[in-house]
Amino acid sequence: MSEKLIEMVDNAGVVRLTITRPKALNALNSAVLTELEALLTELEKRSDLRALLITGAGEKAFVAGADITEMRTKTPEEARAFASQALRTIKRLETLPVPVVALVNGFCLGGGCELALACDWAVASDNAIFGQPEVLLGVIPGFGGTQRLPRRVGPAMALDLVTTGRKIDAQEALRIGLVNRVMPQAELEAYAEELTKQLAGNGPLAVRSAKQAVHDGMDQDLDSALALETSLFALGFAGSEQKEGMSAFVEKRKPNF
């Protein structure tokens, strides 16, 4: 059997995926994407899933991009198929019904940055480096970067990054809203634990609905998006979670979701 490229650890519904190709700085080749898509296909069916963390093995890189060695000799048709596979996989990550956190522990370039852009959270170590350097290789981002980056940081900064290919440090990534938090690498793990504990401790259906409202609403006009919010808000009153959450408040105790 071929060696696994993604390590999965499941801690009571908080799942951590580690892309494990440290010798190639965790670059995304078609084998990694195939494995990632298969894992996400299984995870999206799980009602006990609370949160997903995704990271890269080693201390140098989250993901240094799509695999340049594999891409080098591709024909336009092969490049299209590779990009389609990546887009489909990354979309699955984006639409997973629970919060997805990118733990960015180093280089986060090209396809790596595009992977992080599909996550709900990005927490970066202070030595992380971000960028869409594709133009330096004679191509453009092909894993969603030209579309998700402007939606995350605005068109001016996205155009700056995708047309110059320049790399930015974690502080600049924080300033432009590409990541949520920056901290020393030694503190990243403890923070991830604290964050997932917090996410997993909240009402699971409420967290899923909150994610759905934000994601689905972003693609709609404001009135339709507000109607979606109202529907999901009302639906929250149909189950036990709302009763427990509000009773706990009134009874001055912690909710038990």
Q: Footprint of ligand CO8 on this chain (CB under 6 A)?
A: 24-25, 27, 64-69, 71, 74, 79, 82-83, 107, 109-111, 133-134, 137, 139, 141-143
Q: Which is nearer to ligand CO8, 97 or 142 (CB)?
A: 142
The two three-digit tokens of residue 219, written as one number: 């693609």
Measured over the CA atoms of residue 206, residue 209, residue 214 and residue 217, the dihedral's sign is: negative
Cα–Cα distance measured from residue 134 to residue 143, given in angstroms and rounded to the nearest whole number:
11
What is the C-alpha to C-alpha distance for residues 5 and 156, in angstroms, rounded to an integer? 36
Return d(Cα 223, Cα 203) in angstroms, integer. 26
Of 3, 114, 193, 251, the active-site residue reads 114
Nearer to ligand CO8 by C-beta: 65 or 203?
A: 65
CB of 147 to ligand CO8, least distance (A): 13
29-65 residues labelled b (16+ CB within 10 A) or e (exposed):
bbebbebbbebbeebeeeeebbbbbbbbbbeebbbbb
Compute the least distance from the CB of residue 26 to ligand CO8, in Å.
Answer: 9
Place of tokens 């432009």: 176
Closest separation between CB of residue 62 and ligand CO8, Å? 10
31 or 137: whose CB is closer to ligand CO8? Answer: 137
Comparing CB distances to ligand CO8, the nearer of 56 and 65 is 65
End-to-end CA distance of the chain: 40
Q: Which is the catalytic residue, given 134, 172, 193, 229? A: 134
Check if 189 is active-site.
no
Q: Least separation, in Å, of the C-beta of 68 and ligand CO8? A: 4
Rounded to 5 degrees, what are φ and ψ at 113?
-70, -35
Active site residue 134: yes
Q: Which residues are catalytic?
A: 114, 134
